[in-house]
Amino acid sequence: MPMPTMPIALGDITIHPIVEQEGAFFDVMGFFPELSKEVFDENRFWLQPDFVTATGGLNLCIQSFVIKTPHHNILVDACVGNHKPRPTRPFWNMLNSDRFEKELAAVGLTVNDIDYVMCTHLHTDHVGWNTKLENGRWVPTFPTARYIMSDRELAHWTQREKDNPSSVPWITDSVLPIVEAKRAQIVKSDFTFNERIQFIPTPGHTIDHFSVLVGKAGSDCLITGDMIHSPLQGRYPQYGMMSDYDSRQAEKTRHQVFDRFCESATVMCATHFPSPSTGRVRRWGDGYKFVPLRG
């Protein structure tokens, strides 16, 4: 097992977390609308204090992952970003933080070094750093990068923006400017980037969400994106989260993906789990548990 747990080394590829924020932004009962107080109380003994606070706050990490290969630096997801009006989310509204760029610098990179940005889905806390404000305009943050997005995901959100722009401000300021700048590479959600990097369709949380499988069988890692938000949804794959497009499809996705990987050495990089966000998935009754990596 790797020690320390991060970065993850898979031959000549390494995967590094780039954290923007960590905290208990949401109440666990509101975040998982189908969760009962009774089931929550039964599970507090293992959820607290790492995953849930004593007062019922859900501990979440907002982060990207950088995949460094001998040929490319690839950013998977792009957090919340700076200077973005998010009036319904006070903790993300008009963020002005240098943490994201400092964490990039800590792995030896600047925004100029990113060759690709892979967008697992187009939610506000995954696309923010796609763009930055320059002379009053939103321009690509990563000046030479191509931004890879799913065709159906982009079509869905583009239509939502057309119908009611004020309901999806992050599409207006962090997605459409990438398309207008001709930096978007539109693909299917089962896209093969190369022989070591493959998209796995994981729909449900959004209409055409994908996860990113890196490495070779026996030495690989799945960057989950938002197919799961908390280990509670491993134990109970049926629990949808409040912003799901289709929670029943998301449930099916969790079963399919975790069944595939629960006997394997595959490391999960679970994007929203508290740091270090990594573990292997194993069976737990009708669900699955996450076993953290240890040195």
The footprint of Zn ion (CB under 5 A) covers 123, 226
Q: Which is nearer to Zn ion, 123 or 132 (CB)?
A: 123
Q: Cβ of residue 11: shortest distance to Zn ion, in angstroms? A: 30
Dist CA 244 CA 207 (whole Å): 9
The two structure tokens encoding residue 227:
């197919």
Q: Please, which residue, 5 or 131, has the CB nearer to Zn ion?
A: 131
For the chain, how many residues are written? 295
Per-residue DSSP letter, 165: G
- Report the nearest approach of Zn ion to the CB of residue 244 (Å): 9
Q: Do you find a cis peptide bond into 276, omega within 30 degrees of 0?
A: yes
From the list 197, 180, 92, the residue with the least C-alpha distance to 140 is 180
Pick the closer one to Zn ion by CB: 173 or 226: 226
* Rounded distance between C-alpha atoms, residue 269 and residue 274, angstroms: 11
What are the C-alpha distances in Å from 266 to residues 123, 202, 250, 276, 294? 26, 17, 21, 16, 14
- Among 279, 225, 285, 277, smallest CA distance to 255 is for 285
Q: Given the complex with Zn ion, which of 73 and 233 has the nearer CB atom?
A: 233
DSSP 143: T
Closer residue to Zn ion (CB): 86 or 123: 123
The Cα–Cα gap between 126 and 20 comes to 11
Nearer to Zn ion, 69 or 271 (CB): 271
CA-based nearest residue to 114, from 92, 140, 142, 133? 142
Q: List, in sequence order, every beta strand (DSSP E) within 28-128.
A: 57-68, 73-76, 116-118
Three-state DSSP string of 36-56: CHHHHHHHHHHHCCCCECCCC
**How near is the Cβ of 14 to Zn ion at its closest, in Å?**
25
Nearer to Zn ion, 56 or 240 (CB): 240
Given a contact cutoff of 8 angstroms between Cβ atoms, the answer to whether 257 and 203 are in contact is no
Q: How far is the CB of 121 from Zn ion (least distance, A)?
A: 6
For Zn ion, the closer of residues 8 and 122 by Cβ is 122
Residue 209: CB minimum distance to Zn ion, A: 8
| Residue 12 beta carbon to Zn ion: minimum distance, rounded to whole angstroms | 31
Residue 78's φ and ψ, nearest 5 degrees, are -140, 30
In angstroms, the CA 255 to CA 236 distance is 10
Residue 75 Cβ, how far from Zn ion at the closest point, in Å?
A: 16
How near is the Cβ of 161 to Zn ion at its closest, in Å?
17
